[in-house]
Structure 1
Amino acid sequence: MQYTVVERELELRMVLSSERSVPVPARLTYRTDDPYAVHIAFHIGSEQPVYWTFARELLVEGVFRPCGHGDVRVWPSTRDGRGVVLMALSSPDGDALLEAPAEQVSAWLERTLRAVAPGAEGEQLGIDDGLAELLA
């Protein structure tokens, strides 16, 4: 089966305090064979990148309003007059607050939404076809 990958390299900022942040190169990935999820690889200087996967819907909503709870929370903000998207990530290994340029995240999300429209994710998985086959 053929699928589409929508990727974007960008530089995030890991917020260490209100005055201090460090650059974190990252890659956003969306795959039409996993249509509900977004994948982010953070290159933090370790041998392997750190990977996070969460709902695309969470990132889409988080560009406009605070959303999420638990391990992933996303909300819009501004820094030095520019729009940013903040992502608070929590895991047993620790917590991170990351800041992404809103314009770049929104442009990438727009490409993912053109690849698979909101509400059409289930069609990508062929669940209906599989169910029909099972019930035949």
Structure 2
Amino acid sequence: MRHTVVERELELQLVLSPEHSIPVAARLAYRTDDPYAVHIGFHIDSAHPVHWAFARELLVEGVFRPCGHGDVRVWPAKSEGRAVVLIGLSSPDGDALLEAPAGQVSAWLERTLVACPPGSEGGRLGLDDGLADLLTR
């Protein structure tokens, strides 16, 4: 099965306080061979990029309403009159609040939904082929 990769470079804002944020270059990535996840990589004062992966469904829902709990939370908001998506990340190393342009995130998500429509993810994992292979041995 052929796999598709959908990527987008964009600038996020790392929110340091209500009055102060800094720009952070980021790359959104979606792969149909990992159909349930979205991947975000960004540099924050480190030699190596920080990578996060979480459910695509969480980001899709978070564009419209607050969702998630624990390590990843996503919700829509307004910043200086612009629609944004806020992504809250928590790890043992610390917490981060990232602000992404809602239009750019939505356009990228739409491309991922075309590449692998909701409900078709399970067919992309090759589980049926793997099971058939095991049963024919």
TM-score norm. by structure 2 comes to: 0.95
What SS is found at the alignment partner of 1:110? helix
Q: What runs of 5+ residues in structure 1 fail to find an aligned partner?
A: none
Q: Are positions 1:74 and 2:74 aligned together? A: yes
The separation in 1 between residues aligned to 2:129 and 2:2, in whole angstroms, is: 16
Match of 2:41 in 1: 41
> Aligned letter for 2:65?
R
Match of 2:95 in 1: 95
The separation in 2 between residues aligned to 1:97 and 1:44, in whole angstroms, is: 12
Matches within 5 A, 1:1-136: 1-136=1-136
The separation in 2 between residues aligned to 1:27 and 1:16, in whole angstroms, is: 20
Give the C-alpha shift of residue 49 in structure 1: 0.5
Q: 4+ residue runs of structure 1 moved beyond 4 angstroms?
A: none
The separation in 1 between residues aligned to 2:117 and 2:50, in whole angstroms, is: 28
The separation in 2 between residues aligned to 1:115 and 1:9, in whole angstroms, is: 18
Give the C-alpha shift of residue 135 in structure 1: 4.0
Percent sequence identity over matched residues?
76
The separation in 1 between residues aligned to 2:127 and 2:47, in whole angstroms, is: 38
Give the C-alpha shift of residue 132 in structure 1: 3.4
TM-score norm. by structure 1 comes to: 0.95
Number of aligned pairs? 136
> Aligned letter for 1:86?
L
Which deviations, in whole Å up to 9, do the C-alpha atoms of 1:36-74 show, x marking residues without a partner?
000000122421100000000000000000000000000
What SS is found at the alignment partner of 2:17? coil
Which deviations, in whole Å up to 9, do the C-alpha atoms of 1:79-133 show, x marking residues without a partner?
1111100000000000000000000000000000000000100000111232234
Give the C-alpha shift of residue 9 in structure 1: 0.3
What SS is found at the alignment partner of 1:3? coil
What SS is found at the alignment partner of 1:33? coil
The separation in 2 between residues aligned to 1:112 and 1:26, in whole angstroms, is: 17
